[in-house]
Amino acid sequence: MKQTLIEKIIANHSSEKEVHPGDIVDVTIDCRAARDFAGANVVKNLVDNGLKVADPTKTFFTFDCNPGGSDQKYAQNQHLCRQFARENGIRVFDVNAGIGTHNAIDTGLAYPGSTFVSTDSHANIMGAIGCFGQGMGDQDIAAAWAHGKVWFKVPNSVKLTFTGKRPADITAKDIVLNLLNIFGANKLLGCAIELYGEAIDSLTLDERITIASMATEMGAIILLFTPTPLVINELEAKTGKHYDIVTADPDAEYFQEHSIDVTQFKKLVARPGHPHDDTDINNVKGTKIDSAFIGSCTNGRIEDLRAAAEVLKGRKVAPGVVLKIVPSTDKVWMQALNEGLIAIFKEAGALVSNAGCAGCAAGQVGQNGPEEVTISTGNRNFAGKQGKGEVYLASPEVVAASAVAGFITTKNEIPDTPASFAKTDKFSSHNNVKKSDNQVNTVVEGKVWLIEKDDIDTDMIFHNRYLTITNIEEMGQYAFDNLKGYEDFAKKAAPGDIVITTKNFGAGSSRQQAVDCFKALKLSCILAESYGAIYERNAINAALPVLTYKPEQLAEADVKNGDMIRIDFMTGELTNISKNKTTRINPFYSTQLEIYRRGGLLCKE
């Protein structure tokens, strides 16, 4: 029949006896998944279109992008997915389970010759076991859940034959980085790539997963391996199921065929920005790093952790360098624990997180900050993908060695003394002192926002999901957005407005943002019967005018919501301009006045 591996799998899952490149066919999907960040949209698509799940036994959610639920939106999406799963009998690989594609392989949901789709762009990792896997959008996945099949255009197939024996120091990560170096991100765009040769046959399951996971970075549909008997035996041992090996026909016709001499492969590192911007490690050796990351669907398997532990055993992470390690699944985590690898990591000074995708998916751990230089085992280092810093890609052993050395290096060239960070003048402020722009007006006028609620806490004022914001100018838009009935306060408030509330305003945490958000909106002042102790100190120190009053004082001036009032901080005189009534509240006390006139506690006099 002259069918390639991808053509044979697709034909076996369609109504056609054989398929050819360019054919568009409906493909039956053996297993379909949705992740935490897209699962809620899949549910929405189903509900909005009145669709039901066709076969819950072949359907599952996986919470691997942000298994901690540390982001409010992730937590919300995860909860919605759990509710939908309960009502529809759908399996959930919850926050303790790890990466969904890996769990699908290890539990037999995906298997050689089968089909698998997910909202994960790296679902083509299934090529490691000779399974057709594809990442798809929310609507595609919803359709697969509802109908059990999706349409697919049969891709061209490319055959890569590896010649020679793999050099001893070349890891699976080096192999795929070399492939990226050869083919870049678009030379095999949209193709299904089959790999053959002695060097390929000798690869373990974990190594195949590493290589297959970066098909997306090559622009390929999938990197397909024909399982060897050893790989089949490992899969059957994991799942207790029997699998037949699906192979391409001996006379299959390929769009392209390439012979690749594996003996010429080098240890490569991908430079920041592009996984295919690869260079000999010698060209970047010595580059100082701030952090290191071992994990992701590319290098979070047990063999990867063993390779890292071999380097880290008896050593310490360089001073000032942060090493984060995230196993791919909970089973791998437990295996690493039982083998003593976790102890080695902790003794070396690494942070070990629960299983998941980690920084590669902008969740959990592994993100870096601006100007931070990271060496990572992830599959992508696009700008902003793993954070706002620079990310180099390398193998687990290179990442571990670099973490110990403090700079990019190999395991055979770790120095006896790690690199240290040189001092800079970055934080020297003697020539850069910012002068206060506080306008020292001790008499202000403004429109009243009367909020008659006791115990308005700092989460209501400025929710903890925004705590990473450090620029005061950005804070104002979030003021009161977690206070019921006042979610649109920031949009409606005008500079000079005055907030009047009741008892214990600012209860809760010590977050300065709950003060600074009002400064960003340029409110004149805040009046309350009383304040949370920390909040009052924060407000005074930031030169945000806060005053106290007694209910009968406010009643005397008949202050209502929307009234225009005038307040004298020095005397406490409050005039209701709208009603021409006057009263007195508690004025500034001397220390508060002194700090206010200076523009804040830290401002120079």
Stretch 135-164: mean pLDDT, rounded?
Answer: 95
Stretch 554-568: mean pLDDT, rounded?
Answer: 97
Structure tokens at 544: 């945000």
pLDDT (0 to 100) of residue 43: 94
Residue 492 φ/ψ, nearest 5 degrees: -95, -25
489-528 pLDDT, tens digit per residue, is 999 999 999 999 999 999 988 899 999 999 999 999 999 9
User: Do 373 and 326 share a domain, yes or no?
Assistant: yes
| 249 domain residue, yes or no | yes
pLDDT (0 to 100) of residue 548: 97
Amino acid type, 295: G
| 551 domain residue, yes or no | yes
pLDDT band of residue 42 (cuts 50, 70, 90) is: very high
Stretch 381-398: mean pLDDT, rounded?
Answer: 88
Would the pTM count as exceeding 0.75? Answer: yes
Sign of the CA dihedral 328, 330, 331, 334? positive
pLDDT (0 to 100) of residue 283: 97
307-337 pLDDT, tens digit per residue, is 999 999 999 999 999 999 999 999 999 999 9
User: Do 447 and 581 share a domain, yes or no?
Assistant: yes
pLDDT band of residue 434 (cuts 50, 70, 90) is: low
Output the 3-class SS for 202-217.
Answer: CCCHHHHHHHHCCCHH
Q: How far apart are CA 547 and CA 553, in angstroms?
A: 13
- Domain residues for the domain of 450 are 443-598
Stretch 102-106: mean pLDDT, rounded?
Answer: 96
Stretch 215-244: mean pLDDT, rounded?
Answer: 95
CATH of the domain at 549: 3.20.19.10
69-87 pLDDT, tens digit per residue, is 666 777 888 999 999 999 9
Q: How far apart are CA 363 and CA 73, in angstroms?
A: 12
pLDDT (0 to 100) of residue 66: 78
CATH of the domain at 313: 3.30.499.10
pLDDT higher than 70, residue 594: yes
User: Do 99 and 180 share a domain, yes or no?
Assistant: yes
Length of the chain, please?
A: 605
Domain total in the chain: 3
| 434 domain residue, yes or no | no
User: Do 254 and 296 share a domain, yes or no?
Assistant: no
Q: How far apart are CA 384 and CA 138, in angstroms?
A: 23
246-292 pLDDT, tens digit per residue, is 999 999 999 999 999 999 999 999 999 999 999 999 999 999 999 99
Alpha carbon of residue 435 to chain centroid? 38
pLDDT higher than 60, residue 166: yes
Percent of the chain at pLDDT above 90?
85
Q: Are 343 and 258 in contact (CB under 8 A)?
A: no
User: Do 76 and 215 share a domain, yes or no?
Assistant: yes
pLDDT higher than 90, residue 422: no
